[in-house]
Structure 1
Amino acid sequence: MRQWLERWFGVSDIEELAPALEEWLESPLGSSLMRAEQEMLDTALSYLFGYHLMQLSPDRRAKLYGDSKINHCFGLHPLATDGKVYTAMSEFEHLPVADESIDVVLLHHILEFSKDPHRLLREASRVTTPHGYMVVIGFNPYSILGVYRQLARVFIRDPKVKSHAIRISRVTDWLRLLDFTPLKLQRGFFRLPVNNRFFLRHTEWFDKLGSPIMTPIGGFYMIIARKQIAPITPIKQNWSLGRAVPGFSVGKSASRFPESARVTAKK
């Protein structure tokens, strides 16, 4: 029974997920969602600085760091790519990156499609430098798009809809446990999840209206968090002597004979 539930509701392997998700992102609905995410992400990356930026995403073609001011930007993916965006093959849960070496870690729809999202987040935290940033983008389960995806997960055996419904509050709790402080939370894409180009183009005003009014039901969310680790100040050992113990000398050794006795003996 457990194996049947895992096959039906569990997250698909990356070999099945990546092609299906990339095909959906080329559809009118998927491309509209990507444009909204990219616009929000470009604004965020404009004020995030450092030496290295790493991108993790199930989409092998998404180059989300195009407007970043960081010189060295790269991505890692378990499947072979053309090398333009993802420079090496690696499992998301086992990154071949040194500890505390990446200034900005970008997680794009990777937690909900991971078999162990908490472990993946810990691995991403391991490679983030102290006071570095982590940017998490995911589907908002409390949105029209999120409800649509969960209903499709029940009735359709499609890799692109078999994902975890991770609440935003849970992601922020995980980040705090890993010594990250959430700095900013944004939501976007307030249009109905109708896969029709004409309808989506003529309902773009929903996004402008939804930003101040319907913020909690945005189709996706973006969390920017900073790794806060207090520096460790070594405590110098105090080697000063304490109070003298009766019967023991702590200064200049005293003579066994008094001074008057020594002078008399010399004469």
Structure 2
Amino acid sequence: MHKLRAWFATRAGQELAERESRLLSRRLAGLYARRVLQVGAYGGGRCPTVYGDARQWVLDDWPGGPIDLQAQSEVLPLASSSVDVVVLIHQLEFTDRPHQVIREAARVLAPEGHMLVMGFNPLSLWGLRRLMAPKGAQPPWGGRYLGPWRVADWMQLLGLTPRPHEGLALLPPVPDRLRRRQAPSRVVYGQSLGAGLRWLAGVNLVMGQKRVGGVAPPAARWHQRLELIPGGLTEAGARHARRDQWHDAG
């Protein structure tokens, strides 16, 4: 994942991160999202995504990075049902255990909570570019892309109800060395794609809601504390975690 973060630090990667963040912010604006866990950090800075008034924690296996929790996405150091939104930033394509990653995300998600999965689409020009890349190519071309239909199937198996996915980035990025300095980002990535083109989008956002009958209303269910599993954080992760975000204010 550190190589993907390096790509996000390039001009092309920064532009995609900005587009993804805008799409995430629009979708999160309509959700009950007091406690948001973002799994996977963008490259150069902490994270460009804005979640309004929600309290946000960024988790990544990034020693010394601009994150709140250092841990692997396959084993989240959080109690079950402890957050109401989980956002996976390109986590399924660059792991040998994608099933485990999405299973862990579903575990920490509270009843009626939402999971948002951002990923590269194999049936796209991005996917074609990946197939043409040599073996061992650097991210974003070295991953195992998963179609939105497969991610939605996995969500259903875990008790989540998928929503129609959304797409971004019809065209693959132009390498930094070949681009005009003043080229606008919309030429590369464009706006969110409509229903007719989203199946060909290079990047998909798949959403699902954890449906459980008889749950308590959100206001009665949540407290201003993130429930960590004792011993679940690495020493570095505990050092970089923000203490005031684990405890109730005041």
Q: Distance between the aligned counterparts of 1:50 and 1:22, measured in 2? A: 26
CA deviation vs aligned residue, 1:237-261 (integer Å, no higher than 9, x gap): xxxxxxxxxxxxxxxxxxxxxxxxx
Q: Which of 29, 39, 52 does residue 46 from structure 1 map onto?
A: 29
Give the CA deviation at 1:192: 4.0
Pairwise mapping of residues 32-111 of structure 1 onto structure 2 (< 5 A)? 32-57=15-40, 59=42, 61-70=45-54, 72-82=55-65, 84=66, 86-111=67-92
Structure 2 CA distance, aligned partners of 1:192 and 1:136? 20
Aligned to 1:145: 126
Percent of aligned pairs sharing the same letter: 27
1:171-221 C-alpha deviation (Å, 9 max, x unpaired):
000000011011241001123432244385286297259546533211100
TM-score (ref. length: structure 2):
0.75
Q: Which residue of 2 aligns with 1:194?
A: 174
> In the aligned structure 1, how far is the partner of 2:185 from the partner of 2:69?
40
Partner residue, 1:238: none
Q: How many residues align?
A: 211
| Normalised TM-score (structure 1) | 0.70
Measure the CA separation in 1 of the matches of 2:192 and 2:47: 28
Q: Which runs of 5+ in 1 are unaligned?
A: 1-16, 233-267
RMSD: 2.5
Which residues of 2 match residues 108-257 of structure 1 at below 5 A?
A: 108-152=89-133, 154-158=134-138, 160-195=140-175, 196-198=178-180, 201=184, 204=187, 207-208=190-191, 211=194, 214-231=197-214
2:125–2:172 Cα contact (<8 Å) kept: yes
For residues 189 and 105 of structure 2, the distance between their equivalents in structure 1, rounded to whole angstroms, comes to 34
Quote the offset at 1:107 in angstroms.
0.2
TM-aligned CA deviation for residue 46 of structure 1: 1.2
The yes-or-no answer on 1:22 pairing with 2:5 is yes
Mapped to 2, the partners of 1:149 and 1:123 lie a distance apart of 27
Quick one: higher RCO (CA 8 Å, sep 6+), 1 or 2?
2
How far residue 40 of structure 1 moved from its aligned partner, in angstroms, is 1.1
Q: What displacement does 1:160 show?
A: 4.4
- The 3 A distance-change label for structure 1 pair 36 and 48 is same
**Which residues of structure 2 form unaligned runs of 5+?**
216-250
